[in-house]
A and B are shown apart, each in its own frame.
Chain A
Amino acid sequence: MNPYLPFPVRIDEINIATEDKSLKTFKFIFLNKDDETKFAYQAGQFAELSIPGKGEIPIGIASSPVEKGFVTFTVNRAGLVTTHLHKMKVGDIMGIRGPLGNCYPWEMLEGKNILIIGGGFAFTTLRSSIIYLLHPDNRSKFGDINVVYGARSPGMLLYREELSEWEKRDDINMHITVDGTDDPDWKYNVGFVPTIVEQKAPNGDADTYAIICGPPIMIKFTQPVLEKLGYDHDHIIMSLENRMKCGIGMCGRCNIGKELVCKDGPVFTLNQINQTPREY
């Protein structure tokens, strides 16, 4: 099998994900039904979105393995490939190569409490994780689930309909926050993610793991808060980003020391990251 050959997909649906239109969620259908089976993935993995003539871009998978018949990616318009992707239309053909990388350590997390911390548009694989955790087949396998998710403003929160559904459930504790808002009807938190973590998150113990995905600045200020709450570095799980091309551990650019972010990661414990040069 050619590891560089993308599965052909058709864009089935495009939704604007944030009020500033900088993020869109793309729903893809595999042109060949068999490819969907080959693309069996787990929450936390990513794929290369491939646009002929423009190139490829690694993006976390936003849909969840328990959702069948399609895959979704929420994409920020930033570089050459993503800018072009934002101009594409429903029905257009492109490619997806993956799934790539490891996933959050679901087997190890069974029976554990999980604290999910997300910021901005890095919430995609966390959305995938929450859908996975809340699925009736899975929910009983895990302990308490807490989610702290923040964005600049209410309109910049991803998956707003799902967020409000999760708010209503009693098997997941949502702590949604925004940096600031002038909306008088805003009924959730106001404040930066680290602050809300400090106020709302459960204390760390042997059976509680934190999963963090967000911008570097959020991670930087959340880490000491988690330490204060008693989370050991091997109980803090992070997903890293680096410039990537091949996604299969061969092209040589995404390494942090001897670990390859694309293949050995992107998910690492803080304990593992501490032992690498932090070149990400």
Chain B
Amino acid sequence: MKVIKIDKKEWTSGIEQVKNAYRVFGPIKEENKEFSAFKELGKGVTPDLSATDTRLSPKGIIFPQSEAMFEFTTDSTSDDCNLMNVPEKDYSPRAIVGIRPYDAAAFTLVKKNFDTPEYRDNYWVDAYDACTFIGLAVSSPSILDFSTSTKSGPFDETGLDVLLCDLDDHFLAKVISEKGETFLKAAGFTNIADEKDVQKIDILKKEAEDKIQSRVFFDKIQSYSILDIYEANFWEDISFACINCGTCTYVCPTCWCFDIQDEMQGKTGQRFKNWDSCMFPLFTLHTTGHNPRGTKLQRVRQRFMHKLKYFLDKYNDGIMCVGCGRCIRFCPVNIDIRRVCDTMNSFEPAK
């Protein structure tokens, strides 16, 4: 295992240098806003690693909220009339600096959806492959962080190429992949840390994990049948407060559902892939007016069943949640996935 020591005095110049080889994305505090967000960093802008967790996860860097898949013209005088053309895409190397381990782990879950044996969503996968993930370990987990209950954790390396640990005047950068090593070299960060420093990472990791108080259990959920939980009587109570906005799905790093929409301006148009949400009635509405998930209860149940049961059953690889806690924090009516997970896990099917 290789660990690089980065003096914080070198940090800014290293990030500037690496921009010659990468498009760099990172959290910055936006002007006039109380919160930070992931943005592409222009010249002279350094990722603000003191910024607390972003409202939106960086999923939009790989999977933009609205992305043009095709361009076309409907002008019948054009040779190209009604033919779909892929717009120019920039899949040159990019890096997300300061991504949280749970957000990086989320990409690996979402990959199961977009990169399958049968089909490959080139827009998502090409962007993902172009990306180097420079994680920042979480030293002070929020009270809503339950990442250690999922397949992630404050120092988890899943989906990361480098894990940065903040030690006040310097970072320790754990090199996880070749991609990560290439990035650090491009930034000029080559100072190998000594053994004593390296040991600090494990201590910090233990400390951070111990700070996490929030836990969920889903050990029993897999043993119930889908229909048992689907038909359980707790869904009315769980779903009552829900206003069916898309907040939980949009802030979630693992929610991947999308819509396909054509938009025209005069005779030229684009076909877009837009984030969509299982909370919206339109998501499943048939042309006939029939809606298989026409009620709030059905939609709320779908969201939690997808994350905590269908995904678990389908891939046998944990739940579709990394424990970031965003959906809890930003839900306008305080629907708490931890409570729902507990309810599902402690459910007693009718004999």
| Chain A 79-102 interface mask (CB, 8 Å, partner B; 1/0) | 100100000000011110000000
Q: Report whether B84 and A277 are in contact in the complex, using a CB–CB cutoff of 8 Å.
A: no
By beta carbon, the residue of chain B nearest A277 is B230
By beta carbon, the residue of chain A nearest B294 is A279
Let me know if A276 is at the binding interface, CB within 8 A: yes
Let me know if A136 is at the binding interface, CB within 8 A: no
Q: Report whether B260 and A245 are in contact in the complex, using a CB–CB cutoff of 8 Å.
A: yes
* Interface 9-mer from B13-21, B137-145, B151-159, B306-314: B306-314
Q: Report whether A251 and B260 are in contact in the complex, using a CB–CB cutoff of 8 Å.
A: yes
- Known contacts: A3-B122, A52-B262. The answer to whether A92 contacts B82 by CB under 8 A is yes
| Chain A 246-272 interface mask (CB, 8 Å, partner B; 1/0) | 101111111111100001000000000
CB neighbours (8 Å) of B262 from chain A are 52-55
* Interface 9-mer from B43-51, B52-60, B68-76, B322-330: B68-76
**Pick from B82, B119, B264, B288: contact of A248, CB under 8 Å:** B119
Let me know if A206 is at the binding interface, CB within 8 A: no
By beta carbon, the residue of chain B nearest A261 is B292
Q: Report whether B84 and A5 are in contact in the complex, using a CB–CB cutoff of 8 Å.
A: yes
Question: Number of A-B pairs whose CB atoms are under 8 Å?
Answer: 130
Q: Report whether A257 and B310 are in contact in the complex, using a CB–CB cutoff of 8 Å.
A: yes
- Known contacts: A242-B286, A243-B284, A251-B259. The answer to whether A5 contacts B82 by CB under 8 A is no
CB neighbours (8 Å) of B215 from chain A are none
- Known contacts: A2-B122, A252-B258, A253-B276. The answer to whether A95 contacts B288 by CB under 8 A is no
Q: Report whether B293 and A279 are in contact in the complex, using a CB–CB cutoff of 8 Å.
A: yes
CB neighbours (8 Å) of B290 from chain A are 216
CB neighbours (8 Å) of A249 from chain B are 113, 116, 118-119
Instruction: Report the Cα distance A78→B287, complex, angstroms.
Output: 7
| Chain A 211-241 interface mask (CB, 8 Å, partner B; 1/0) | 0000010000000000000000000000001
**Pick from B122, B226, B276: contact of A258, CB under 8 Å:** B226
The interface size bin for chain B is 35 or more
By beta carbon, the residue of chain A nearest B69 is A4
Q: Report whether B259 and A95 are in contact in the complex, using a CB–CB cutoff of 8 Å.
A: no
Let me know if B224 is at the binding interface, CB within 8 A: no
Instruction: Report the Cα distance A88→B28, complex, angstroms.
Output: 50
Q: Report whether B72 and A245 are in contact in the complex, using a CB–CB cutoff of 8 Å.
A: no
Q: Report whether A241 and B72 are in contact in the complex, using a CB–CB cutoff of 8 Å.
A: no
Let me know if B261 is at the binding interface, CB within 8 A: yes
Instruction: Report the Cα distance A246→B262, complex, angstroms.
Output: 13
Instruction: Report the Cα distance A53→B19, complex, angstroms.
Output: 38
Let me know if B211 is at the binding interface, CB within 8 A: no
Instruction: Report the Cα distance A252→B310, complex, angstroms.
Output: 12
- Known contacts: A251-B258, A253-B283. The answer to whether A52 contacts B230 by CB under 8 A is no
By beta carbon, the residue of chain B nearest A79 is B287
Instruction: Report the Cα distance A52→B278, complex, angstroms.
Output: 26
CB neighbours (8 Å) of B69 from chain A are 4
Q: How far in angstroms is the closest Cβ of chain A from B325?
A: 22
Let me know if B285 is at the binding interface, CB within 8 A: yes
B contact face: mostly helix, strand, loop, or mixed: mixed
Q: How far in angstroms is the closest Cβ of chain A from B194?
A: 47
Q: Report whether B121 and A3 are in contact in the complex, using a CB–CB cutoff of 8 Å.
A: yes
- Known contacts: A4-B260, A52-B262. The answer to whether A243 contacts B285 by CB under 8 A is yes
- Known contacts: A3-B119, A93-B81, A258-B313. The answer to whether A245 contacts B258 by CB under 8 A is yes
Let me know if A159 is at the binding interface, CB within 8 A: no
- Known contacts: A251-B257, A275-B226, A280-B292. The answer to whether A3 contacts B298 by CB under 8 A is no
CB neighbours (8 Å) of A216 from chain B are 290
CB neighbours (8 Å) of A257 from chain B are 226, 230, 305, 310
Q: Report whether A279 and B292 are in contact in the complex, using a CB–CB cutoff of 8 Å.
A: yes
Instruction: Report the Cα distance A256→B314, complex, angstroms.
Output: 13
By beta carbon, the residue of chain A nearest B291 is A243
Instruction: Report the Cα distance A253→B70, complex, angstroms.
Output: 22
Let me know if B269 is at the binding interface, CB within 8 A: yes
CB neighbours (8 Å) of B264 from chain A are 53
- Known contacts: A78-B287, A258-B310, A275-B227. The answer to whether A4 contacts B70 by CB under 8 A is yes
Instruction: Report the Cα distance A250→B310, complex, angstroms.
Output: 14
CB neighbours (8 Å) of A6 from chain B are 84
- Known contacts: A2-B122, A52-B74, A251-B259. The answer to whether A93 contacts B82 by CB under 8 A is yes
Q: Report whether B271 and A52 are in contact in the complex, using a CB–CB cutoff of 8 Å.
A: yes
By beta carbon, the residue of chain A nearest B116 is A249
- Known contacts: A251-B258, A258-B313. The answer to whether A78 contacts B278 by CB under 8 A is no
Let me know if B333 is at the binding interface, CB within 8 A: no
Q: Report whether B286 and A52 are in contact in the complex, using a CB–CB cutoff of 8 Å.
A: no
Instruction: Report the Cα distance A1→B86, complex, angstroms.
Output: 12
**Pick from B82, B257, B285, B313: contact of A94, CB under 8 Å:** B82
Q: Report whether A250 and B260 are in contact in the complex, using a CB–CB cutoff of 8 Å.
A: no
- Known contacts: A6-B84, A243-B285, A275-B227. The answer to whether A52 contacts B257 by CB under 8 A is no
Instruction: Report the Cα distance A252→B70, complex, angstroms.
Output: 21
Return 29 A-B CB contacts under 8 Å, by A number: A1-B120, A3-B119, A3-B122, A5-B70, A8-B83, A50-B84, A53-B269, A82-B287, A93-B81, A93-B83, A95-B82, A243-B284, A246-B260, A248-B118, A248-B121, A249-B119, A250-B121, A251-B259, A251-B276, A252-B258, A252-B278, A253-B257, A253-B278, A257-B310, A275-B226, A276-B226, A277-B226, A279-B292, A280-B292
Chain B interface (Cβ < 8 Å from any Cβ of A) = 69-70, 72, 74, 81-84, 86, 113-114, 116, 118-123, 225-227, 230, 256-262, 264, 269, 271, 273, 276, 278, 283-288, 290, 292-293, 298, 302, 305-306, 309-311, 313-314
Given contacts A4-B260, A251-B258, 17 further A-B contacts (CB under 8 A): A3-B121, A4-B273, A5-B84, A52-B74, A53-B74, A78-B287, A93-B83, A251-B260, A255-B302, A255-B310, A257-B226, A258-B226, A258-B309, A263-B118, A277-B305, A279-B292, A279-B298
